[in-house]
């Protein structure tokens, strides 16, 4: 399961370059002092990771509530189905409008980001990363689905942290080299992303079905206990 978070991050970073790349280009990094500039970039990434971890904590806690009501397997199946539907019918999800309140919050986040990008204080980079993490993104939604399926606050937070970790290599390269992912290579990666999401969605469904396949679709805990009692 946690491997899927890193895969989302690595592949999703090609999508992130298009969405969050402009923010990375505009970071007020001190390019004359390489060590200082590196710490500034790391601070930016830490801000994003902190936000992703908080989001994972929230949705992991939400998933925990479903677990207490005995819906752990159903949640895994639903998450897998949603991932596949997101890829097959993206227009349906695009038509789902945010409420006015959420849209207002996102607008405030963007305004705050704009103000922070104009500053050059040491704490600016962490704040930019922190705010950046709240911007809407399709790949982040996929990772959130995964965090929900963990049905555990800590694991949900860890899932989102690993997702963010997977985006760091490419997002760091973009800061130094600019958008070098244009052209056929990026197009090929963009084609791979939906396939990867569908495959991960199928794995979540198999996990929820509890078919007794080791590491892929383990049998439910209650079923294992029941079988052990029969053996004794």
Q: Could you give the CA distance from residue 100 to residue 216 in angstroms, rounded to a whole number?
A: 41
CA 162, 214, 65 angle in degrees (round to 5)?
Answer: 55
Q: Cα separations (Å) of 90 from 83, 85, 94, 138, 163? A: 10, 7, 6, 10, 21
Residues 6+ apart with CB under 8 A from 101: none
Q: How many structural domains does the chain have? A: 1
Strand partners, 213: 217
The pTM for the full model equals 0.77
Q: Could you give the CA distance from residue 212 to residue 47 in angstroms, rounded to a whole number?
A: 40
Long-range contacts of 185-193 (CB under 8 A, 24+ apart): 186/14, 186/17, 189/11, 189/14, 190/14, 190/15, 192/11, 193/11, 193/12, 193/14, 193/15, 193/139
DSSP string, 54-104: HHHHHHHHHHHHHHHTT-HHHHHHHHHHHHHHHHH-HHHHHH-PPPHHHHH
Domain extent, residue 45, equals 2-231
Per-residue pLDDT of the chain in tens (232 residues, 90 and over written 9): 678 888 878 877 776 666 666 677 778 788 788 888 889 899 999 999 999 999 999 999 988 877 766 677 888 888 889 889 888 887 666 655 555 667 777 888 888 888 888 877 777 899 999 998 888 777 788 888 888 888 889 999 999 999 999 988 888 877 766 655 566 666 777 777 888 888 888 988 988 887 777 766 666 644 433 444 444 4
Strand partners, 217: 213
Q: Measured over all CA atoms, what is the biggest interatomic distance in the chain, rounded to whole angstroms?
A: 71
């Amino acid at each position: 399961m946690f491997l899927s978070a890193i895969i989302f991050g690595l592949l999703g970073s090609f999508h992130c370059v298009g969405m969050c790349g402009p923010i990375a280009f505009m970071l007020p990094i001190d390019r004359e002092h390489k060590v200082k500039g590196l710490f500034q970039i790391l601070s930016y990434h830490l801000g994003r990771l902190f936000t992703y971890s908080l989001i994972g904590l929230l949705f992991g806690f939400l998933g925990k509530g479903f677990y207490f009501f005995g819906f752990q397997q159903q949640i895994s199946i639903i998450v897998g189905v949603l991932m596949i539907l997101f890829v097959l019918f993206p227009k349906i999800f695009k038509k789902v409008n945010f409420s006015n309140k959420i849209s207002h919050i996102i607008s405030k986040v963007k305004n705050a980001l704009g103000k922070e990008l104009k500053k050059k204080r040491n704490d600016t980079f962490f704040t930019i990363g922190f705010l950046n993490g709240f911007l809407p993104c399709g790949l982040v939604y996929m990772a959130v689905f995964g965090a929900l399926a963990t049905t555990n606050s800590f694991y949900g937070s860890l899932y989102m942290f690993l997702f963010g970790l997977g985006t760091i290599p490419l997002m760091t390269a973009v800061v130094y080299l600019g958008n070098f992912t244009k052209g056929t290579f990026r197009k090929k990666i963009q084609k791979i992303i939906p396939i990867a999401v569908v495959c991960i969605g199928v794995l979540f469904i198999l996990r929820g079905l509890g078919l007794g396949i080791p590491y892929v679709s383990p049998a439910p805990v209650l079923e294992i206990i029941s079988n052990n009692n029969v053996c004794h």
